[in-house]
Structure 1
Amino acid sequence: MVKKMMVIGFGSTLIGIGLNGFIIPFHLINGGFIGISLIINYLWGFKAGLIFILLNFPVYMFAFKSNPLYFINGIIGAIISGLMIELLIPLNGVIHLPIMSSVIIGAVIIGIGVGVMLRNHISPGGMDLLALLLAKWSKVNVGVIIFAMDTMIIFAALFLLQDAKLFYSLLIVSIVGLLASMITSFRGVQFFIS
């Protein structure tokens, strides 16, 4: 349990840093429920972290029926991730980089956070939790499933917000999906000392 809490704390902190420090200042989005929360935030000003937590409840109920362990890990992961998004809001506007650099650095930070949590069977949010369950059922890599869902969310954001800058969000979800896929697929390397 201590290891899980450390993983959740580490992953959630990276997600909060990546979003607030690099993604939100340019009004870009990530995928999943975080992306939906950011769209709602940009449209109506509601707190993204709190919306993120609320959006997760229906998936938690579904997860509880199919796998109680995913439910417990998911609810803890999403609540802490949502809180870290809110707690790290002061980072917004502190780091000044060109948009492409910000997108790449932010996506790498978020991707590591998401990947480390998923590798430990902890979901940083309901859509990732849904992807974990789909991956278990379909045998398709969780990173691939996340990327497909995230792409749909970004096209919805382009339609709703009508900001061409959101095309950068496709790069964000590509990097996050790639890193999540690599981290969850990595089997580990054994070193033998002769």
Structure 2
Amino acid sequence: MKKYWINSRDYILIVLGALIQAVSLRIFFVPADLASGGVSGIAQLINFYTEWPIGLMVLVGNVPLFLLGWRFLGGRRFALRTAVAIVTYSLLTDLLLKIPLFMYYSDILINDLKGDIFLNSLYGAIISGVGYGLVYRARGTSGGSDILARILNKWRGISMTQSYLMVDTLVILSAGFIFGWKQALYAMITLYVSGLVAETVLEGGGTVRTAMIVTNKPEDVTSRVMDELERGVTYLEGRGGYTGSSRPVLYCVVSRAEVATLKTIVHEIDPEAFMVIGVAHEALGEGFRPLKG
């Protein structure tokens, strides 16, 4: 039952994420002539001249990419989630125009933001980023440049950031010639901001700090951290590179607000201690968010 619930939850998130992306495209990107990158951006450019339905072109353009993803990114498991995301996004992109209630409120927003490309790009980036993040959390992809970027990452070792940049550059340049270079610049900013938002939604906003502490008084430090911060401490086996002697390394995870207290504890007990503070995107388990699928 748990497995079925997780799968059902994933598909609900994918549909919701696709809906949010479609809303962002219709309310912010299309009225402001902001090419959203990838297949959607190409569809916008073609629609500018032909008025062919954007959603239909997105669906058609994703077919060859979908087949590539099937071949290189995991077969059936990849295909099912990605197919749901692509079909839902494509259908909603066109169907939203046939819903009177949506058209009524979207016209209000469009008129309110008319001529303000900055706000259109900002709102569009944030909202579409939430949509992308929900799809990614559900272990899906949004098709288009997402598929190509993952293929480049997997088979050529190119980072995801560079992959997206390579894939979307041609679309942004084309948008510059058609919509104007001001719109192209804001489209680049939109892609960057939406990526940050998607990453936040995917990994969670609960950024925490990790600490590794080398001290001659590990028991005292551990006792105060557990008593005052109520955080667990793990002993790691370490060996000094210069002295060759064994000594424990304390490892603990704290919130950002607790870093100052941790520094004070270590300094008061052992001013000669060595401590490294790192950043972790998310902490799951006892004392933090529950570990779940």
Same fold? TM cut 0.5 = yes
What TM-score range do you get, normalising by the shorter chain? 0.7 to 0.9
In structure 2, what is the equivalent of residue 163 of structure 1? 180
Q: Is the 8 A contact 2:65 2:143 kept in 1?
A: no
1:93 to 107, 126, 132: 107
Structure 2 unaligned blocks of 5 or more: 1-6, 98-102, 205-280, 289-293
* Matched positions, count: 193
* Aligned-pair Cα RMSD in Å: 2.4
Against the structure 1 CA distance between its residues 139 and 185, is the aligned structure 2 distance closer, same or farther, given a 3 Å change threshold?
farther
Of residues 61, 83, 103 in structure 2, which corresponds to 1:55? Answer: 61
TM-score, normalising length: structure 1: 0.86
> Could you tell me which residue of structure 2 aligns to residue 71 of structure 1?
79
* Cα distance per residue 1:91-119 (max 9 Å; x no partner): 65331222211210111110111122123
Q: How far apart, in 2, do the equivalents of 1:80 and 1:162 lie?
A: 27
Q: Which has the larger radius of gyration?
A: 2
Q: Distance in 2 between matches of 1:60 and 1:152?
A: 20
Deviation track 1:21-78 (CA, whole Å, cap 9, x = no partner) reads 1111112110111111111111211100110000011111122222212222222211
The residue type paired with residue 94 of structure 2 is: E
- Conservation of the 8 A alpha-carbon contact between 2:18 and 2:88: yes
**d(CA) in 1 for partners of 2:132, 2:162:** 13
Distance of 2:79 and 2:162 partners within structure 1: 22
Q: TM-score normalized by structure 2? A: 0.59
Greater percentage in helix:
1
CA distance in 1, matches of 2:30, 2:20: 14
Q: Retained in 2: the 8 A contact 1:143–1:181?
A: no
1:113 correspondence with 2:135? no
Q: 5+ residue gaps in structure 1?
A: none
Determine which structure has greater relative contact order: mean sequence separation of CA pairs < 8 Å that are 6+ residues apart, divided by chain length: 1
Partner of 2:49: 43
| Cα 1:93/1:151, change in 2 over 3 Å | farther
Equivalent residues of 1:11, 1:112 under 8 A apart: yes
Aligned partner letter, 1:111: G
Q: 1 or 2, which has the higher strand percentage?
A: 2
Match of 2:187, SS state, is: helix
